[in-house]
Amino acid sequence: MTHLESTSLDLLKLHGLRKTPCRLAVLELFFRERAALSHQNIEQQTQNSNFDRVTIYRTLTTFEEKGILHRVPDLEGQAKYALCSEKCSEHAHHDAHVHFKCQTCEKVLCMEDIPLPETAAPKGYQVKTASFLLEGLCAECNG
């Protein structure tokens, strides 16, 4: 059993989810890629396993509910997901970091180290969550 396999298995157990081929494959993919992935990305990169489209949709939804994945802001295109930090749980997501989308390779990355800037909303408004998406060229594509 590889390292990723055991990490993935632990994560499922931790959240009371059953170990299934689709869930393991999706988790391992996220660990390997270290970038935000869309349903389509996942379907393509797990083609040989032939998981049903619906199963992948449900896997993503379940993982988001349990605090394993968070939705990543992306103006165009489909919903994208990325691995949560350990702080996330069934009860709340703590994904208050900046996200970066490369306009060349289209990868979307979590910049866990860059916290969201503080912003004052006008009076009367109550801010509960915020998302900040930068777009440009990533280190590789900029080189």
Partner DNA sequence: ATTATCTTTGCAACTTAGTTGCAATATTTT
Partner DNA sequence: AAAATATTGCAACTAAGTTGCAAAGATAAT
Separation between Cα atoms, residue 64 and residue 62, nearest integer Å: 5
Separation between Cα atoms, residue 27 and residue 4, nearest integer Å: 8
Interaction of residue 64 with a second copy, rule CB under 8 A: no
Give every CB contact of residue 104 below 8 A, 6+ residues apart in sequence: 137, 138, 141
Interaction of residue 138 with a second copy, rule CB under 8 A: yes
* Least distance to DNA, CB of residue 118, Å: 30
3-state secondary structure 30-82: HHHHCCCEEHHHHHHHCHHHCCCHHHHHHHHHHHHHHCCEEEECCCCCCCEEE
* Least distance to a second copy, CB of residue 47, Å: 28
> Among residues 21 and 136, whose Cβ is nearest to a second copy?
136
Give every CB contact of residue 35 below 8 A, 6+ residues apart in sequence: 82, 107, 108, 109
Stretch that binds a second copy, among 43-51, 60-68, 84-92, 128-136 (CB under 8 A): 128-136
> Among residues 10 and 112, whose Cβ is nearest to DNA?
10
Residue 3, helix vs strand vs coil: helix
**Using the rule CB under 8 A, which residue among 71, 85, 96, 106 binds a second copy?**
71
Interaction of residue 81 with a second copy, rule CB under 8 A: no
Interaction of residue 130 with a second copy, rule CB under 8 A: yes
Stretch that binds a second copy, among 7-15, 18-26, 82-90, 133-141 (CB under 8 A): 133-141
* Residues in touch with DNA (CB under 7 A): 17-23, 38-40, 50-55, 57-59, 61-62, 77-79
